[in-house]
Structure 1
Amino acid sequence: MSDGATQGSNRVLTGIRRMPATLTMVALILVAGVVWQGLWRPFEESDLFDVVAYGLPAFEAGRWWTPVTGTFFVNEPWVYLFTIASFAGMAYLEFRRGSRIALAYYWVGQLFAILATALLLWGLAQLPWAWAQEQAAALDVGASGGTMACIAAAVGLFRSPWRVRAWLVLLGTVFVAMLFWGSLADLEHLLAVLLVLFVDRSLRIQRTTTREQRLIAFISVLVLGAVQIVTILVPTDGPFGPTEPVSGGFIDFAIDTLVILLVANGLRRGRRWSWVVALILAAVNVLTGLLVLAAIIIASEAQVEAQIDGETELALASGFLWLLMLVYLIWVRRAFRARRTSRIGRQPAPGVEDVKRMLHADGGGTLSWMTTWEGNDYARTADGIVAYQRRAGVALALADPLGPEATRAASVREFIHDAEQAGLVPCFFSADEATRAAVPSTWRSLVVADDTIVDLPGLEFTGKRWNSVRSSLNRAGREDMTFRMTHLKDEPWGVQQQLRAISEMWVGDKGLPEMGFTLGTLVEAEDPEVRLALALAPNGDVDGFLSWLPVHGGGARSGGESSGSGADGVRGWTLDLMRRRDGGFGPVMEFLIGSSAKLFSEEGAEIMSLSGAPLAHDYPPDAGMIAALSDRLAEALEPVYGFRSLHRFKEKFHPRYETMYLLYRDESDLTRIGGALTRAFLPDATLRQFAGAGLELVRGDRD
């Protein structure tokens, strides 16, 4: 057995040892099922059922032991599947908080559900209410009251925002089951969940973000639409009375379903028009329910159903649910102000020249010059600027906010707020530790690259560790290679054409267009502040070239002005383009980077960034699933883009590493962020090119 399999088995055994109470309960229920044959025939048909089953008739007959004895039996064989599965909540609760807590929640929840249900039905049965009288005469067995209490307690342990989402799903499930089916067990489940909700107080909707308020409305509207479909297709028998499938409500059903499909996504995006339509829809359903209720009181249910050609039960139950929805929509009305043309940031929106002025004045990180590239939009904050791209409903911020370091946290908060108000998913790509510390504490982070930094002061290529770089420089001298630091626009037409030919050949070999976002092209290299490093053969041919982006340190922190750079306060340079001619000088990249490093060091620059290699992070041994996923993806993409090979190449220059992160709200955003990143990096790629790249991945995997 492999070490991974052994470790997995050990973790499973450790987890099992931490859940003795749950396993004991499951075992007792299975033993009772075998001894009294409930596993293969209906227990409710046996003579023992009336002796051990709990309910109001059992208490009236003096069978006080039934809340305990009824716990270990199941009424139908197929129900065992759901009963055993429902103990997952108790298992999770026991694993997190221990056996005593889990047993306390289980038995308090079970006993409260049974006793409170009996007491409630005793009072309701005094009214002329057929449903209450029917359930007051019913008996039940099973552990579901306790298991539902444990599930509710387990939900309270979830981290935000999943806690609120899980609570809403759980509450929606028990309320819908109660309103439309309303059996004795459904009432017990509802009361058990409400007990834990009251005791734990872990559901705090008033503290949710704008995004969560929209998501709650989105899910609720979809649930209401699904309820209407189910009640049209499935018979129900809840507190409002029985319904038959396909029995009525077709007009309401058709209108509501069509409108729900139109407005649900709008609510998720926070659109004002969808909130207005949802408000009208809720009001219509509530008004319909009230009119039906009034008509029943004045006339009779049969007469009303004959007049509306439908069943009053659906109108009453739906009206109640839509009333809750109406109250919620009014309560969180401020979350629905987004319009399709909503802009992010303060107006007027800044432009590229504003960004460059801010970089010169306040400096930036190693990727900050990329914010000046075409394709970026800019959000102005109180004291800074955030560069971002709007892709697939995502506001994809590039690197870190620009501006004074002291205002970083305020800029982050402002950008997140404005993006959410505009109905967009906010995230930061290739952000540093300072930005990671500035996002809300509930946000997640994912390592996307390691920035490779070479410190330039005192740099000397001496010693054994620099053998490969020193050898490439010496070989270049023997073969009369020439190094030139220049600007693209300063080069003659013939050299520029060679550079374009080399780039086009490189792109043609990939099967995909040149990547964008954090990877530039010759278009970006035309900027007069970007420098170009050329390796020229003795015959004048360009064997390779690099482009270097300025890293500004701010006017007050100038590390020296680079000759001919035209930029003040440049403290370093970031590597962008790396291109070589096929069949040219072998170690051309080592030669170019080494020569550039020597020149930058002589000019007084502080750092040289070799940029980050995506999907090439060195994860610690305990990094877990994220590391495994990143490694698998890196292996798949290696034949196409060679990210790992590039990372290994950069190690020749012995850099230090600074981690770059993808910062996002939670895991539910990752699918949309993944689509946004794909389009940001490959905005011009066609489906045919993606398919071709997929074939290349397959070939690489076979190799």
Structure 2
Amino acid sequence: MTTAEAPERTVTAWSSVSRVVRRGVDIVRSSATRAPVSIGALVLLWVLAVVTGSVMRPSAHVLHHYAVGIVPLEHWRLWTPFTSGLFAPGLIWYLFATILILIVAAPIEKRMGSVKFAIAAVVTQVLGALLGLVVAVVAKLLDESWGLHLHDGTSVGPTTWIVGVAMVASSNMQTLWRRRIRVGLLALLITLVLFSGHLHDTVRLGAALAGLVVGRWIVGRSARGARLAGTRREGRVLVAIVVAATALGPAFAALTPDAVGPFAVLRELFRGTAYDSDEVAQVCAQFPKGDECRQGELSLRLAGVGPTILSLMPSLFLLVLADGLRRGRKFAWTAAVVAQVVLLGLALLNYLVRFVDPLDTETIFYGLDSSTAYRTVAPFVPPLIVLVVLIWTRAYFDVRAPAGTYRKLLVAMIGLTVGLGVVYFLGGLAVRGQFDPGASAGGLVKAFPERLVPPVYLQWLDPAFLPDQFVATFLYEWTGVVFWLAACVLVARTFLAPAYGTETDATEKARDLLRASGGTALSWMTTWRGNKYWFNASNTGYVAYRVVGGVALTTGDPVGPREELRDNVIGFAEFASSNGWTPCYYSVGVDVKRIADDLGWGGIQVAEETVLELSELAFTGKKFQDVRTALNRAKKSGITAEWISFPTAPLALTDQITVISEEWVADKGMPEMGFTLGGLEEIDDPEVRCLVALDADRTVEGVTSWLPVYENGAIVGWTLDFMRRRSDGAFRPAMEFLIASAALTLKDEGATFVSLSGAPLAKVETGEPDSDETAASATLDKLLDVLGKALEPVYGFRSLLAFKSKFQPTYVPMYMVFADPAALPSIGNAIGRAYLPEVTFGQTVNLMRTIIKR
């Protein structure tokens, strides 16, 4: 760098810093205007800290006069439940509170209004403090040790009212955020109470519970009520949160030196009594078989940085599995279940080793005759809870990795184990004199498996030797840490492998065939979760199907060369029949209908596809008035259309899309329909394009997804699938705007058509009966018509078909064809279960209630 460049770079750096500072000042100024209570509380917090000398830690004056606790209330300092929220425990907490006020409290105040915010802050601060003290009183009755800590403790901190106002605000939030805030905060706060267990933990939990109760009176309820049912995708996230919280709890206890909560006993899973090697050597020289020698050896095994980290590795591994659960991976679910069963078994073994000893009534841990005897069951509780949750939600986790993924993982794990074993063996031989007593070759081989196990689980085994110098200590303590870290990385990588559901490998093969040959407008739906695949003998075509109640129900037409269509139709029907299934082609086009007619099969129309030919599309004339109005309103309102790919889009956009979708599901009070209707899981595909409507602040007003349509290896069109509009958005014609914008853009890109897809159980009424329709088919047709009318208040398929008529589409009938008319009752049941595979009895009752009300 030249001398001239240095001042220039300095100026540039200072300019960047200046911009950041100005931006920060602007944010604070804006917050002060729009959130005066939050900023006023922040200023007061720092002023009081400086005036009372409590910036680094609360002064004796503050703890005596302003901190809340049982003792202060016993001395009639009744103002402390309020004033305790005006101080913090130390500098780190002051800085943390500042961040929380700016990024949590201030936005909440802007949302709910300053008056309601102030009321919520005061009410939850006071009620939270009082509820926390009630917990302290009850705890003293149940657990003298924990209760004494709570009774003698005091609490200060603004996090109490910040948590409280967050829970109050959640009362009228959108479903997704209400669910996530409540589950996330409660999981965190309950974990802190159970493991850390200090008074400020119970006070924060009390504020959260108070916020849950009083929120409906301060800000009102959400128009959607308190529904917590959501999509499969969101269910996975919530289960992952529970698993992660229970994994972090013992780690909190282990890393918190003064943890006193009822589950703080679990820190004994990570560390032992303080001994050093000299003390252990002296004790064991005098009493080689004595209990104190045994405890000392155990302490050495548990002490130190390496053993502590190794003891934390199971928690880290569970966090990795939680990420796999978030992705719906079946391997993660299986591994998590096995992990919880192992933890239960080890907890039982620990219990037997520590407490079931008729020759010795004392242990270094909690005894059965103490007032804290209930803590002896603490290690059993978290894994048992998680195990029940995992089994209850097992249907959520059906995504399988590509074939060979876990075979490669097994090979890698074997290689890792063997490699570390060789390093440990050769290294141990080289420094065998650094072990006490000296380590033999056989002893090193025998001891190696123990180096991979968290040391606490080895407490019932006497160590063959212990290290007493640096190199030996490094091998002894860190071999297992390297093993677990590498294992976590290897397992995490398997969750990143592309997966499409239970048939990942077959789906990948089907995608390749679809790209190479082509299909209909609905053919991309054959690659969705839930489908199985039949491939023809030449591997040039396939049929996607699912077996429901003995019916092999297909998703659209067979995919493959058109000249092979008849052979594929017949081939799949023979395959299904050979397996004892009734073949039924659903949502197929006229070509398959003609083949079915030639074969003497029955068939009825089940939907109406709407197609826009793009070659002459212009949206001119009176018939397109609604569409042009939407385009013009968007321009005046500053609404723009932006193409994104959901897997790579910014979190700021994908999170809004997720919120909009979850709100839509919550409004229905029913699970999302599947089969030929996509959701969030289906748009999370790099080959699916999403068009979103954004306002000037990049708020998502609506979103649509478009599936590719292939012909001879090239994309010739796109099919509309996912449609969601913000329920409280200001731009009502978002869907008209997005569909019109997509059609015009895709036309410019060279697409020949767009399909607006089909509306299930809805069709254009011509008033002309089908002369080829049998009596049984006519009966089923009427049944489906009744079902379509019944579901209209909930899912609105017929309204959707009417909406699409605004674009003056070409109507293309879609059929269901079947070989055996006698199986029509089973086919009707299969269709209903295919669209709603996860509907519960309660949801069915809710659906019937909705239908009756309408």
For normalisation by structure 2, the TM-score amounts to 0.41
Instruction: With the length of structure 1 as denominator, give the TM-score of the two structures.
Output: 0.49
Name the structure with the higher helix share: 2
